[in-house]
Amino acid sequence: MFTGIIIAQSKISDVKKLRGGLQIKLARPRGWKLVKGQSINISGVCSTVTAFTAKKISVEYMPVTVKQTTASTFIAGKMVNLEPSLRLSDELGGHFVTGHVDGRGRVKEVNVRGRSKVIAITLPKRMMKLVAPQGSITVDGVSMTLVDSKKTWFTISLVDHTLHHTSLDSLRLGDRVNIELDIIAKYLNKMVK
């Protein structure tokens, strides 16, 4: 479980294919305490630490994760968002995030407005029915409040802090992003069905 409040960014140093899956190595942020087997959020994907050194972290993704997330686009040099697992004593500054990506969105528009950016992201219709204006959504691991939603897309507004502390500042037209819908909306939808 995570909050969607990004603690660090890291650069991917190596990507290796493994029987349909992937092994990813990335730079270990200074001061990060790690235990083999723990979960960390890498750009929205709940990732199990398989190995680590003083400078590197290794994780592996199953074929289904590669298929359903943007992990398939991870390459050496790419910057990713990082968040350690939530502890019971931590402040919940964002919203409850599981790291279980529901699907991928595509950047439709990027508009600069002063020191902020408004980004429109398209989603499949099956996902859009669980998106509500001023609701919560996770974009590449970042907890966001929706500004608006239409039939096939929604908008988020990125303030200066988010732009400087996450990879969302580098989003361009056509880029794919990992999307996790609000867990409460998913459970309510399931109960209503």
Q: Is the domain 8-84 a CATH 2.40.30.20 member? A: yes
Which residue spans of the chain are classified as CATH 2.40.30.20?
Answer: 8-84, 103-192
**Sign (positive or negative) of CA dihedral 99, 6, 105, 27:** negative
Q: Report d(CA 186, CA 127) in Å as an integer.
A: 10
Say what the pLDDT of residue 128 is: 94
Tell me the mean pLDDT per 10 residues along the chain, length 193: 94 94 96 94 97 97 95 96 88 87 97 93 94 93 94 95 94 97 90 86
Architecture of the domain spanning 103-192: Beta Barrel (2.40)
Residues sharing a CB contact under 8 Å with residue 153, sequence separation 6 or more, in sequence order:
108, 120, 121, 122, 123, 128
Token pair of 72 as six digits: 């398939």
